[in-house]
Structures are given as structure tokens and as C-alpha cells.
Amino acid sequence: MAALRYLGTRLGLAALTLFLISAITFFATNVVPSDPARVALGKAATPAQLESYREQQGLNRPVVDRYGYWLGNFVEGDWGTSIISRTEVRESVVPRMIRSLIVAGAAMLLAVPLAFALGVYTGLRSGRPVDVGVSLGALFINSLPEFVVGLVLLVLLAVQWGVLPLESSAAALGSGIDEVKAYILPVLTLGIILTPYILRMVRVNVRDAADSTFVRAAVLRGLPRRRVVWRHVVPNASLPVVNVVALSLAELVGGVVVIETVFGFPGIGKLLVESVGNKDLPTVQAIALIMGLGYVTLNFVADAAVVGLNPRLRTRQ
Amino acid sequence: MTLSPVPEALTHVPRRRPWRDARRLLLGSIEGQIGCAILLVFILMLAFGPLAAPHSPTEIGVGLPDEGPSAAHLLGTDQLGRDVLSRLLDGARSVIGLPLLATALAFVVGGLTGLISAYAGGLTDAALGRVVDILVALPPLLIVLVIIAALGSGSAVIVISVALVYSPRVARILRGATQAVVANEFVQAAQARGERALPIVLRELLPNIAPTVLVEFAVRLTYVIIFITTLNFLGVGTRPPSPNWGLMVAESRPTVLTNPVATIAPAVAIGLLCVSIGLVADSVTQRLGLKKESELLR
């Protein structure tokens, strides 16, 4: 019961977040510009053209109606036409979205085990040089802007050693080994950026669990160290980590946008930045909704995972 | 009736030594010393950078385009033949200016919300807490990019949108800090004197959470510097020919293969600035024994 109620609250929060993202997107891009028709048709348009555009787009109707209409169209798959390329927004967004999802997923798959391994290792050696060193390193990376981390890796791996491509357009245009290589730098950078968050949480949890009475009891019972670590310390330290992974999802969304721009990776984030620069509002709207949906969904999955893993939330109280 | 003498322990107020306290806080650890040393260089750059610059930061063709470092141009030239060192020295202002404004605004809006929320308690607190929870869940970069797409990238738009994105985070942390002091008797004393809510919040509560506010401001400022520099790097912030460091990185990125110094120099400058503020904030946090609550809430 408690678990269901908790999940219900989280589902409500997810829905509310998504609603807010869509409302901010709609009002910022549809209501605030004093004349959307003028933005869409340009300065050369005649008053008659403007009026017929308003009629056609339903701009004369009340704002709430327009919001519902816009959202309805989006759900039905009509994402509008790009102002710049004059093509369907959906056609350019969907393939890029898939590539971005691959980058984000691979980065998580890199960051979580790496952070976990480092966190357990240093958490068990609290205060020793290796712990201090890794903590300082994590603080250092966390203090750097994402694009600086990306550029350092770019200069090392692509400029100095020349083992990887300077930019990642091959992810869309290349094939075979070139296509794979185009993914490496973005995934590596994003993975390195996400690691410090998770690492710190694992480290603190492992340290606290290692100090706890039940671990001391296990040690006093004469259990081998390996068993104490893997059966007593790590499981108890794992749970809050899921929360941190969920928290770092907002970081992931921002990270994808920045990293794709650093490496010229043909994904949804780079397209978003280009569309913001070009004032291509239909594309901006579609990407904002897609990213919002992805973010909210992953967040909810993480919440559900917390319930699944936490015995205190699983049982009725 | 005679009043009994007040015990000495209650009248003795320890002498304030603000300079010595500050020195201990800032320079008490190796982290703090390194951080302060780097920060000092940046403060000198802010004050004297434009005077020390050997060339104009925006003049095109003071050297050949994309030259490496030389005696005439210590950090080389960029793709338009501008002197990289001069641009770096001049750009410190534009890197720190807007973030300082945005962070200050976020602290006015978010700080007041947090303080009032904790002071009011009850239903007000619960309602504001819910709103803050929802706003904190919005991904910052996405929201700011959407706002810039609609309203353009003027300084006012950037300062206000960034402040709005960060103020719920500030509100949450300052609410937590205030809750720890709101139950104190001096608050009840002020209420008994008949003081109104706002003076109590500003004069009784705020000074008591000042250390948290200062550390929080430093940490938040780092994040906002990173955030706004990132906007500039993405090309949706400050316009060329501004010598903003984020913009410098973006502009020299296409020629990074032939002239990596022009890209690396501003990137390293941004990195050092952010790391040094982080080190100082970390050191102060540890010295004061505060919990750094913003750690996971970038």
C-alpha cells in the first residue's frame, strides 16, 4: 500500500513536471512573441497573408484552446514544419533522438559501474591517500564546465594522438568503424562528467555502512572480509545511489546538449542549439517536449526502482 | 525590589576579530590556500586586465590568423588574427559580471522565499515546499534554451531566466538552514516585542544563517558561471566580438587542429576560475562544519 501510494505521488509529480515543461514551451514560443504570424512569415508578408495564416493556425482562438490543440497535434505525431529547412520536424528529430539516446545510455552504462567500483574502493579506505586523491579528482571534474572536459579529451585523443575523429558527423553519414568511432568521444566525455556525482554518493554510503554496528557485528562473528563487503556493506550502500542516478538525469539532459555541440555530434541536443540560434520555433518545441518526456519517464523509472529495492517501502506499514 | 546582578557569563561578549576569523576560514587548509591564490589572480585580472592587455581585445589582424604562441603574441592569435592574451585579460569581466547579477537575483527571490517559508511554517511552508519541489525537477538548460529561443539572448533575458531556474534551489537550501534557527527564543522575543514578519526574517533569522548563505552563494555562483559560460559556448549568449571566454572557445573550435592554444587557453581559464571558487567554498564549509547541501543539486 505504502509503495503504491508513493508511486502514485511520484507519477503525479512526473505528470505535473511534464505539464509544466510543455506549458513553459508553449507560452514562451507561442504567446510571448507579439506576433507569431510575423515570426513565421517574415517581414515581407502582407496583412492579408498574415490574417490568413492566423486563421489557418488558429491564432485568433483563446490561448487555452490553442495549447490543447498544439499538444493534441504533437501526440498525434504532427510536430509541425521547420521554419528553416521547410521539412517535417519529425523526420529530422526522430533519427537524431535515437542517436542521442544511444549516447546517453552508453554514458550511463560507463559511469554507473565506474563510479560504483571507485566509490566502494575508496569508501572502504576512507581518509587514505587514494581516497583523498579520488575525491579531489571528483571535485575537480565537477567544478569544470562540460564543454571544457570535452575539449580536453578532444585535444588529447583527436589532436595530440589522432586516434579519434575531430568531429562526430560520421555518426549520421559514415558507416562501419567510422560510425562507431564517432560515438566514442561523446560517450566517454558524458560518462566522465556523470561519474563524480554517483561516485561521491557511493563513497559516503559505503563509508557509513562500514562504520555501522551490523558490519562490526559481522566482522566480530568472524566472517571473511570479502563476504562482509559484498553481503553487508555494498547492498546497504546501493539504495541511495539509485536516487542519485535519478538526480543526475537533469545533468544528463544538459550534458547531451553541450557534448553534442562540442563534438559536432548529429543528435537531438545539437539540433536544439541550432534551432534556438535560428529561431526555428517548431523544432525547438518538438525537441523540448521529447527531452522533457524522456527525462520525466527515466525519473519515474528510477523512482520505481527505489521502491523495488527498498524493503521498507515494499511492505505495508 | 532589587535586581540580582547578571552573571558575568551572560554579559561577556567575546571580542570580534573579523580579519583573523576570515583568514582562518579562507587560508586554514591547503585547498583554501590554493583556491585563494588562483582567485587573487582573477581579481587582479578583473581590476587591471584591460590595462595590462598588450593589444585591443577586438581589433582584427594585429597578427596573422591562427598563429601559435610567439614573443609578440604570448598565447598566439585566433582565427581573425586577434591577440588571444589580450582577449583573455579583457574577458574576465564578461565572464563574471552576468553570473554575479543572476546569482544575486536568485538569492533575493529564492532566499526570501526560503526564509519566509521556514518562518511561516504550516500550510504556507507546505505549499511553497511543493512548488519548489516541482520547479527543482525542471531541467535547467532545457528551460533556459526554450526561453532564449522565444525572447532572444539579451543580457536581461539571460540574467532573469537563469535566476528563475536557480532560485527554487536556493529557496530549498535556505529554508532548511532557517528551520534550524527558527525555533530559537530570540525569534519568540522579537514576536513578543510586536515586530512584524519581514523585519524578523531579515534582522533576526538572516544574520543567523549568514555562513550558510555565503558558502551557498559561492557554490551557486560557480554553477551559474559554468551555466552562463556554457550558453556563450553554445552560441546562444553573448554575441561576437565580445572576448567572453566561452565564446572564445566556441569561435576557435573549428581550427583546434592547427591552433589548439587559442581554444585551450580560455577553456583552462574558465576551469581554473570554477575550480578555485569550488576549493575556497569547500574549505570554508569544512572549517565551519557546515553540511554542503548543494552538492547534489547542481
Instruction: Report yes or no on B220 lying in a domain.
Output: yes
Q: Let me know if residue B61 belongs to a domain.
A: no
pLDDT in tens, B37-73: 888 888 888 888 777 777 777 777 777 777 777 777 7
pLDDT mean values, one per 10 residues, chain A (317 residues): 80 88 84 64 77 75 81 83 80 88 90 89 83 84 86 84 76 75 89 88 84 84 83 77 76 88 90 88 88 87 78 56
- The A residues from 5 to 24 touching B (CB cutoff 8 Å) are 13, 16-17, 20-21, 24
**Does B259 fall in a domain?**
yes
Residues of chain A neighbouring B149 (CB-CB closer than 8 A)? 28-29, 275-276, 279, 281, 284
Mean pLDDT taken over chain A: 82
B18 domain residue, yes or no: no
The residue-averaged pLDDT of B224-228 equals 90
A-interface mutation test, from B34, B233, B263, B279, most A Cβ less than 10 A away: B233
Q: How many domains does chain B have?
A: 1
**Distances from the Cα of B171 to the Cα of A53, A305, B123, B129, B175, angstroms:** 44, 28, 17, 9, 6
How many cross-chain Cβ pairs, A to B, lie less than 8 Å apart?
A: 146
Residues 199-218 of A with CB under 8 A from B: 200-201
Query: What per-residue confidence (pLDDT) applies to B31?
Result: 78
**Percent of chain B predicted with pLDDT > 90:** 13
pLDDT by residue (tens digit) across A204-249?
888 888 888 888 888 888 888 888 888 878 877 777 777 777 777 8
B189 domain residue, yes or no = yes
Distant-in-sequence, close-in-space partners of B229: CB < 8 Å, separation ≥ 6: A145, B95, B244, B245, B246, B270
Which CATH number do you get for residue B159? 1.10.3720.10
Question: Mean pLDDT: which of B19-33, B158-172, B241-255 is highest?
Answer: B158-172
Q: Which of B135, B151, B230 sits opposite A146 (nearest CB)?
A: B230
User: CB–CB of B145 and A257 under 8 A?
Assistant: yes
Q: What is the 3-state secondary structure (H, E, C) of B97-147?
A: HHHHHHHHHHHHHHHHHHHHHHHHCHHHHHHHHHHHHHHHCCCHHHHHHHH
A70 grid coordinates: 498544439
Q: Which residue has the higher pLDDT, A266 or B75?
A: A266
User: Among A118-127, B3-12, B231-240, B243-252, which stretch is predicted with the lowest mean pLDDT?
Assistant: B3-12
Residues of B in contact with A299 (CB under 8 A): 137
On whether residue B293 sits in a domain, the answer given is yes
Given an 8 Å threshold on Cβ–Cβ distance, is A143 in contact with B278?
A: yes
Residues B296, A197: C-beta atoms closer than 8 Å: yes
Cβ contacts (< 8 Å) between A292 and chain B: which residues? 139, 142
Q: Does A164 touch chain B (CB under 8 A)?
A: no
Does the predicted interface ipTM exceed a cut of 0.95?
no
3-state secondary structure of B83: strand
Q: Which of A28, A140, A159 sits opposite B257 (nearest CB)?
A: A159
Q: Is the pLDDT of residue B296 over 60?
A: no
Residue B135 has pLDDT above 80, yes or no: yes
Q: Cα(first)–Cα(last) distance of chain A, in Å?
A: 8
Q: Report the pLDDT value the prediction gives residue B192, as an integer from 0 to 100.
A: 82
Chain A residue numbers with beta carbons less than 8 Å from the beta carbon of B142 are 21, 253-254, 257, 288, 291-292, 295
Quick check: is B278 in a domain? yes
pLDDT of B245 > 80? The answer is yes
A142 to chain B, any CB pair closer than 8 A? The answer is yes
Choose the closest CB to A284 out of B140, B146, B278.
B146
DSSP 8-state secondary structure symbol assigned to residue B293: G
The domain of B82 spans 30-56+74-297
Q: What is the pLDDT of residue B138?
A: 85
Mean pLDDT in residue range B198-205: 83
Nearest to B262 by CA among B71, B60, B81: B81
Confidence of residue B298 (pLDDT cuts 50, 70, 90): very low
* pLDDT value for B297: 38
* Residue B1 is assigned to a structural domain of this protein: no
Query: What confidence tier does B144 reach under pLDDT thresholds 50, 70, 90?
Result: very high
For residue A179 the three cell numbers come to 560510425
Whether the per-residue pLDDT at B253 is higher than 70: the answer is yes
Segment 60-119 of chain A within 8 Å of chain B by CB: none
